[in-house]
Structure 1
Amino acid sequence: MDFTELYRFHGNLAFSPNSRFILAAIQNRLVLRTTSTFQIFQTWQIDQSPTPTNALFSSKDKTSSEPISHIGWSCDSEYLLAASTKQGTVHVYNVQDINWSARIESGTEGLVKAEWAPDGRTILCFSQWGLRVTIWSLVTGVASATYIQFPVHPDTGYAFRSDGRYFILAERHKSKDTLGVYDTQDSYKLVRHFPLPTSALASLALSPTGNHFAVWEGPIEYKLHVLSLAGDLQGSFSPDSDPGFGIRRVSWHPSGMFLAVGGWDDKIHILDLTWTVAATLELSARIPSGVVSVPFGENHPNGRRQQKVEVSYHVPNYSATKPASESIADERLRSPHSIVIQRADMTKSNPKSGTAQLEWNKNGSLLLVRFDNSPNALHIFDFPTMEQPEFRPRLRSVLLHSRPIAHARWNPVRKGSLILCCASQSLYMWSDEWVGENGEEEMAECIGVPAKSFETRDIRWTPDGKGVVLLDSKDSLFCCAFEVEDA
């Protein structure tokens, strides 16, 4: 892979949907670079003049600058926004017209989040204390502002249907959970409003088909409900055995035919359209042969230290001396292997246990699972297609690392490509698309970052799936890596 130079950012980084630009926030300044040359295309200095509300209530120095808390792109990559929640403002810019800009000011209700709607011309602003959501339109300006009261969660309590037609929002009215369905093509006019069967809603997830949505309780009770957009209850799920705590992760299959549910225990429940358990996947300390890939030891067999770059996916005590920017492929263990499972203290708040990540690949043929009580392992399950006569998901691969896995991401375009990082000077890739002597085979590799001091603490794909961006949040640095195409 080819790596770029290191660049500075401050907490926020975003690729444009067309993958032509990368936007970085540095304190109160926006820096826009092209992905072809990584030269600076445009910069903006955020207007830090206080809003009337801030000027009235704030006792701080009015000349002090507030960092940018949120950035985002419109779906057509034409507009971008930068929000400062402390200042209560959202700034909007046009990529091609440097003279065009807009500014949204929140009132006394404050601002906790701002993001684009799917149409790319509407901005949603969530206020503090769950008071309301304000919808602003760039087309008609102030006259189009719409207010929806009492959203439950600004991060996980809403969703847009895949076609962008309907906006569903979990709300809290008169101490009861409710859900509103709003028509985005009719100025967010309320279409339906109905109560939810939850007592303390934790989150919701909309089916990819847009026909159903799942809601589940808070951390005390393990209970999930599936409803239609008309408000009809389709089914409820609660495991027979007592899991101790509630639900942590829920993920719809891309086809909308299955729902994966993980809690604070070591089990993943796969529900079908009858909303009953079709399969249960469980974390086990004993892994079958031919499934595990393990990093080799830190010391060279002849006593020399290996390179600073940590190389993973190799058998123990394997010697390798590759340059930092080159990759080394894996070798699987051919005998059963045991992994360490940490037993968390369930009497303490937020115990390190249960499902930390639950994510399908693009076509739903693979399911990625990470457990908090086995932080160094990543499990990949093979999921059968609808054409196969027998429905039996199986464990396909377990990738073991010497450090806890920080992030893992599926390729947004290719079905069998995965990247992950472990806060080390490397990135790790797994793929089942490598063509070997026996046809398509799996391959895992470690790729060192060619930098003197860089720890990959987060990693993301470009929207076109052809490159990755590596972030070192500790030192506020990032770089990008792109696959080298064969001549």
Structure 2
Amino acid sequence: MDFTPLFPHSSSSSSTVSPNGFYVLTSVGDRLVVRLTQSMQVIRSWRSADSEQELAATSEPKSKKRVLSSSSGSMADNQDAKSSTRSLQATIPYLGNPANKPAPGTISDDRRPPLLTSISFSPDSLYVCALLRKPMTSVVFIYSIEADQLAARIQIGAEGVATGDKAVRWSPSGSSLMVWSDWNLRVTIWPLSDTQPKPVQLHHPKHGPQIGSCISPTGRYFALLCRQPGNFHDHVGIYDTVTWTCASLFQLSTELVDPTHLQWSPCGRYLAIVESALLDYRVELWSPTGSKLGHFLPQPQKSILAHLNPSSTDQHAHNPPQTLKRSHSDSLPTAPPCTRKVSSQTNQTNQETDTSGHVGLGIRHIKWRPGGEYLAVGGWDCKVRLVNDLTWSSICEIDLSEITNARVLNEPREWIGRTRGHGIIPFDVESSNVLPSPLKADFSKPNPTIGIKEIEWSPKGDYMAIRNDAMPTAVFIFHFRGSGSTSHSMPLDSVPPQPAVPLRPRLSSVLHFATPVRCLQWHPSLTQLVIVCATSAIYSWLPLRPGLAPSSFNASQPSDYCEGIGVPAGIPFNALSIQWNPAGDIMLVSDKVTFCLAFPVSEDAENA
């Protein structure tokens, strides 16, 4: 793997790679910098202060720059438009009234330069956007890479902008910008083309930009957990991302008291809605048209150790009927309601389910398997349950706390210092197979260090990586034999009918690192897992040791391989996050103040 030199940026989230892989965008203070990924040459550079001065000095009515304002809801050159927050200016400070002064005793530091956040590329990689937060009026800048100029500016008024880097996003088509307001007031869709001159407001979202919303796999629809005036039940709104009209709006069941997470299946036919972990262990499955398909509750005394081959999975062979064919068309996907013969097994009675022991230990993380036929549900009880889309019941249960014997790959001690960041060191296979000791959770504080923190499927769905918060230095990797993963290399609509094959998880190995894991990601198309641990190295896991033929793979005798690759930085560098481009030939490695690009090298190129 080859690395570029280090370059500065404002934070670990202030760099991103374009979807086409040609550019890398970074923010350094109030400046945006666009570089070429192959040479890291600067081709564009903009400063937000210069853009404001340029825009203020430009008074031509035929200017191509679009200036949008949330106060007027239209073009900012309409001076006669009344502000929607004008009645609040005389009473509430810092809500768009420039005349309001800081309250007595308020400490402000004007020496700190403004920072550009929420930077991103448009889906076509032709435009970039960045958010400049201000106490009174935040501004979103949109620049054109080809024209090398400011294309539009959005002024966010009294409602403010939600916290986090996901508060400003591009729509899937790239023709509009989605901005989450503060206090969960609304989601504003700002048009960037002349076909839709006015912004669209989606009112009363239940959560902020981090949770409670998702986009369909095709990018045609946007699902949002929301509330309706005069109705205390939560709703889900499905919006067309082209016209931003409401395609479907339905009320959730009364069993969901406080839904938090919303996740669209990769096949586009199911919506998984998760109840708050403080109330119950419950996930409901809905179709985008508003039909409830089923729900999942944990079953008592059915724990299956994943490192054993569970025999109970044989009776849950997955063979989807013709009515559940995967579809990626632009029409709103539909699924029949839960009227199948097995529906009586899905909605169990209170005597058959056990939820009393999960109050306060509900669901923490969910992840659909590629294809959408299985849903991995991770809870605060350190268990992962696999739910199938036929009965919406658990076919197996992975309890990480009960695993006592496994194949452990240990990171060599102090190898980074010995190699000075220029070496590639393989992990040691632990002969004693002793797992790392879990941390003792402090239940007197919120968010104790327990539970399933992250679940990531490989692109083909034959491997699953799990992070347990009680073991921050370990990554559990499971292999699913007989999962029929080869069919995922073809388009979902062209997959031929597969024979009934059970999904059998087996613990492949446990990766043990010297420091806590900060981020992990699968390669977009290959079975390769990349991990960073806030050190000057990246770690690569492969299911087969390099140099071995694929025909020599034997599931009963694991031959997986993990290695540490030093980043030749020359200065202190602690990798905190990684990001692959869609093609998988460029990887962005970031720490708090610097970043670099990594280019995977094939075995043929290394031997040449």
Equivalent position SS for 2:149: coil
Of residues 398-407 and 153-162 in structure 1, the stretch that sits farther from structure 2 once superposed is 153-162
2:578 to 459, 462, 474: 459
Paired residues of 1:287 and 1:339 also in contact (CA < 8 A): no
Are 1:327 and 2:424 counterparts? yes
Kept in 1, the 8 Å contact 2:141–2:150? The answer is: no
Establish whether residue 169 from structure 1 lines up as the match of residue 224 from structure 2: yes
Shift of 1:57: 4.8
How far apart, in 2, do the equivalents of 1:213 and 1:58 lie? 47
Deviations 1:215-243 (A, max 9, x none): 11123122111111111111112223523
Name which of structure 1's ranges 19-28 and 324-333 shifts more when overlaid on structure 2: 324-333
In the TM superposition, what are the counterparts of 1:328-477 in structure 2 within 5 Å?
A: 328-384=425-481, 385-386=483-484, 389-414=501-526, 416-437=527-548, 439=550, 441-450=559-568, 451-473=570-592, 476-477=593-594
CA distance in structure 2 between the partners assigned to 1:64 and 1:424 by the alignment: 29
Aligned-partner SS, 1:66:
coil
Answer whether contact 2:375 2:388 (CA < 8 A) is retained: yes
SS of aligned partner of 2:236 = strand
In structure 1, the partner of 2:396 is 279
SS of residue matched to 1:393:
strand
Consecutive unaligned residues in structure 1, runs of 5 or more = 299-306, 311-320
Task: Choose which of 73, 86, 89 in structure 1 pairs with 2:121.
Answer: 73
Q: What is the CA deviation profile of residues 312-338 of structure 1, one whole-angstrom value per residue up to 9, with x for unaligned ones?
A: xxxxxxxxx646322122342344323
Aligned to 1:160: 215
> 1:205 aligned to 2:263?
yes
Q: Distance in 2 between matches of 1:162 and 1:380?
A: 26
Distance 1:286 1:260 in 2: 18
Partners of 2:413 and 2:126 in 1: how far apart? 49
Partner in structure 2 of residue 18 of structure 1: 20
Matching residue within 252, 256, 260 for 2:368: 252
Cα distance in 2 for partners of 1:142, 1:399 equals: 51
Alignment length (residue pairs) = 463
Would you say the 8 A contact 1:286–1:336 is kept in 2? no
- Measured after TM superposition, the shift of residue 284 of structure 1 is 3.5
The reply on whether 1:195 has 2:251 as its aligned counterpart is: yes
- Residues 405 and 442 (structure 1 numbering): CA distance in 2 closer, same or farther, change over 3 Å? same
Deviation track 1:127-162 (CA, whole Å, cap 9, x = no partner) reads 111111111221127723111101112221111211
Structure 2 counterpart SS, 1:144:
coil
Which amino acid counterpart does residue 126 of structure 1 have in structure 2? W
Q: Distance in 2 between matches of 1:435 and 1:428?
A: 15
State the match for 1:30 in structure 2.
32
Contact 1:15 1:22 in 2 (8 A): yes
SS of match in other structure, 1:42: strand
**TM-score normalised by structure 1 residue count:** 0.89
| Residue aligning to 1:318 | none
AA aligned opposite 2:217 = S
| Corresponding residue for residue 216 of structure 1 | 274
CA–CA separation in structure 2 for the residues paired with 1:233 and 1:322: 57
Flag the structure with higher strand content: 1
Q: Secondary structure at the match of 1:412?
A: coil
Change (3 A) 1:55 1:285: same
Q: CA RMSD in A?
A: 2.4
| Residue 285 of structure 1: how far off its partner (Å) | 6.0
**Residue type of the alignment partner of 2:6:** L
Does the 8 A contact of 2:17 with 2:588 survive in 1?
A: no
What amino acid maps onto 2:233 in structure 1? K
Is the contact made by 1:115 and 1:125 (CA closer than 8 Å) also made in structure 2?
yes
* 1:173-231 Cα shifts (integer Å, max 9, x gaps): 2332111111223x211122111122212110011111110111123122111111111
1:234 to 279, 286, 293: 293
1:144 equivalent in alignment to 2:165:
no
- Percent identity for Structure 1 against Structure 2: 32
Q: Paired residue for 2:98, among 45, 51, 55?
A: 55
Indicate if the aligned counterparts of 1:88 and 1:111 stay in contact, CA closer than 8 A.
yes
Structure number, greater radius of gyration: 2
Rounded to whole Å, the distance in 2 between the matches of 1:203 and 1:58 is 39
Residue type of the alignment partner of 1:202: T
Where does residue 46 of structure 2 map in the other structure? 44
Report deviation, 1:293. 0.5
Contact 1:419 1:427 in 2 (8 A): yes
Q: Aligned in 2, Cα 1:484/1:163: closer, same or farther, shift over 3 Å?
A: closer
Match of 2:87 in 1: none
Q: Which runs of 5+ in 2 are unaligned?
A: 57-68, 72-95, 103-107, 300-353, 485-498, 554-558
AA partner of residue 213 (structure 2): Y
The whole-number CA distance in structure 1 between the counterparts of 2:110 and 2:548 is 67
Distance 2:101 2:408 in 1: 57
The DSSP-based 3-state class of the residue aligned with 2:142 is strand
Alpha-carbon distance change, 20 to 166 in structure 1, aligned in 2, over 3 angstroms: same
Instruction: Give distance in 2, aligned partners of 1:61 and 1:292.
Output: 51
Looking at structure 1, the residues matched to 398 and 450 of structure 2 have their Cα atoms a distance apart, in angstroms, of 16
CA shift for structure 1 position 18? 0.7
What residue identity is the alignment partner of 2:29?
A: Q
Mapped to 2, the partners of 1:444 and 1:128 lie a distance apart of 44
| Contact 2:217–2:264 (8 Å) recurs in 1 | no
- For 2:238, the aligned partner's letter is V
| 1:303-356 superposed Cα distances (whole Å, 9 cap, x missing partner) | xxxx5x16xxxxxxxxxx646322122342344323212231334311110011
Alpha-carbon displacement from aligned partner over 1:86-106 (angstroms, at most 9, x marks no partner): 342211111111134200112
- Segment of structure 1 superposing worse, 227-236 or 86-95: 86-95
Q: Residue in 2 aligned with 1:98?
A: 148
1:183 aligns with 2:300: no
Aligned equivalents of 2:16, 2:99: Cα separation in 1? 34
Secondary structure in 2 matching 1:129: helix
Q: Which residue of 1 aligns with 2:189?
A: 135
Q: CA deviation at 1:376?
A: 0.8
Q: Select between 329-338 and 176-185 the one with higher mean Cα deviation.
A: 329-338
Contact preservation (8 Å) 2:364, 2:380: yes
Following TM superposition, by how much is the alpha carbon of 1:5 offset from its aligned partner in structure 2, in angstroms? 1.1
Counterpart in 2 of 1:119? 173
Change (3 A) 1:175 1:57: farther
1:69 deviates by: 2.0
- 8 Å CA contact 2:437–2:471 kept in 1: the answer is yes
Equivalent residue of 1:337, what SS? coil
Greater fraction helix: 2
Aligned CA distance change for structure 1 residues 281 and 137 (closer, same or farther; 3 Å): same
Which residue in 1 is equivalent to 2:88?
none
The whole-number CA distance in structure 2 between the counterparts of 1:35 and 1:91 is 23
